[in-house]
Amino acid sequence: MALFLPFCEQIDFYPTAPFNFDATLHKPSHFPSTDNFWEPGVRWQTMLWQGTLLGLKFENRGTVDQPRMQVSVWSQSRLEPDFIAGLEAELRYRYNLDLDLEPFNRALASDPQLGPVLDRWRGTRPMSYCSLYEYLIVAIVLQNATVRRSVNMLQALFDAYGARLAYDGKEFSAYWSPERLAQASEEELRRLKVGYRAKSFVRVTQAFVQGQIDEMRLRSASIEEQRKSLLSLYGVGPASVGYILSDVFHRWSAMSHISPWEQKIYSRLFFDVDPETPVPVEKLKALFAERFSGYEGLAVGYIWEDLFWRRKHEPVDWLERLIRL
DNA sequence: CATCAGGGCCCTG
DNA sequence: CAGGGCCCTGAT
C-alpha cells in the first residue's frame, strides 16, 4: 500500500550554463532502480530528507545555454520555508548545479577523442542523487554480483524496509533511514538473499546510527580523511571508495581505482585493444594523467557515459560481452 | 544435472 | 601481499 503525497511545492533552479538536463539527470551506465524514472525532459525521484519522505519531479524548462529547471516537491504534510530552503541547497549540491564546466571545456576541447564527446554532451555534469548512506547500500549491493542480482537485492531491501510513495499519478520506492534498518538482524537480512552482504549492511548501518560517520562533516574534510573514514567501514573497500569519492564527494580529478571490468572497457576505448587482453592499469592511469591532467575523472566519465548512451540506442557488440546481466 | 564466475572485501598465513 | 571463502544466481 503506497503512501499518498497530497501537498506540492515548486522550486525553480537556474543552474550555471552550459547545463545539459537529460545527460546530467540520467546516467545510462547506472543500473535501474524503482526509486526513480527518467524520460527526456523529466526525472521522477523519491528522497528521504531530514526524516521526511518526498516525491520529486525534475522538469527541463530551459536550454543548454539558458538553463532553467523546475522541481515539484510532493509531501505528506505542508513543508516549511526553512525546510524547502535546505532541500534546495542539498539538490544544488547533489546535482552539481553550481559547477562551472568552462575551464574543463576549454582545456580539453582540442583533444581528438574527447573534443567531439564534449560537443555532444556539453553542459553534462556528474550526478548522484543518493545520500552517502544510500550510496553505500548501492555499492555493497554491486559487489561480486551480476547487474540483475544487484537490482533484485536492492528491490528486496526497498520492499522490506523502504516506503512506496504515490505522487504525480505514479508510484516509486523510497529509501529507509539507518535507524529503521538498525532494527533488522543479520539473519533477517539474509532471508532477502543478499548473502554475506548482510553483515556489511548491519555494520555500515550501525556506524551511521551511532554517529561514527557524518556525511555533512565529511563533505568538508580532506580527501585523505574521507578515504580513511570510508575504508574504516566494514564491507567497504577501494572499489566502493573510488565511486563514493567521485560521485558523493565530487572528487573528480583523480581516478582512484580501476577495477578489472572497467580496465577491460577502458583498454578498448583508449587503446583499441581486445578487452580480453587489457592494458595494465598503470598504463591507463598514465594516459589519463597525460591527456586529461586535473580532469581525469570528469573526462573519462564523459567518454564512459557517451558509450552507454550509444548502447542505449544500439547494442555495442564488444561491450555486451563485458556486461553480465 | 553439476559447475562456475560474477561491476569486492575480509581475513588468514 | 597473495589467495581462499563468501551468498546467490544464471550461464554453460
CA of A145 and C1' of C3: distance in angstroms?
20
> Do the strands A163-167 and A3-4 form a parallel or antiparallel pair, or are they unpaired?
parallel
Cα three-residue angle A258-A101-A16, rounded to 5 degrees: 130
Nucleotides, chain B, CB distance < 7 Å: 6-11
* pLDDT beyond 90 at A101: yes
Q: What is the DSSP letter of A54?
A: E
Asked if A101 and A114 touch (Cβ cutoff 8 Å), the reply is no
Q: Cβ within 7 Å of strand C: which of A 174-193?
A: 190, 193
pLDDT at A146: 84
CA of A152 and C1' of C9: distance in angstroms?
11
CA of A232 and C1' of B12: distance in angstroms?
19
Compute the distance between CA of residue A319 and CA of residue A298 in angstroms, rounded to an integer: 21
Classify A235 in phi/psi space as left (phi over 0), alpha (psi -120 to 50) or beta. left
The percent of residues in chain A predicted with pLDDT above 70, rounded, is 99
**Distance (Å) of CA A131 to CA A95, A225, A278, A289, A297:** 12, 18, 34, 29, 20
CA of A148 and C1' of B13: distance in angstroms?
36
Residues 6+ apart with CB under 8 A from A253: A294, A295, A296, A297
Nucleotide nearest to A324 (CA to C1'): B6
Closest CA to A172 of A84, A87, A51, A48: A48
Asked if A53 and A76 touch (Cβ cutoff 8 Å), the reply is yes
Cα three-residue angle A91-A46-A54, rounded to 5 degrees: 80
User: Where residue A147 falls among pLDDT bands split at 50, 70, 90?
Assistant: confident
pTM of the model: 0.95
- The residue lying closest to nucleotide C7, measuring its CA against C1', is A195
User: Where residue A276 falls among pLDDT bands split at 50, 70, 90?
Assistant: confident
User: Where residue A216 falls among pLDDT bands split at 50, 70, 90?
Assistant: very high
pLDDT at A140: 95
- Beta-bridge mates of residue A218: none
Q: Cβ within 7 Å of strand C: which of A 221-250?
A: none
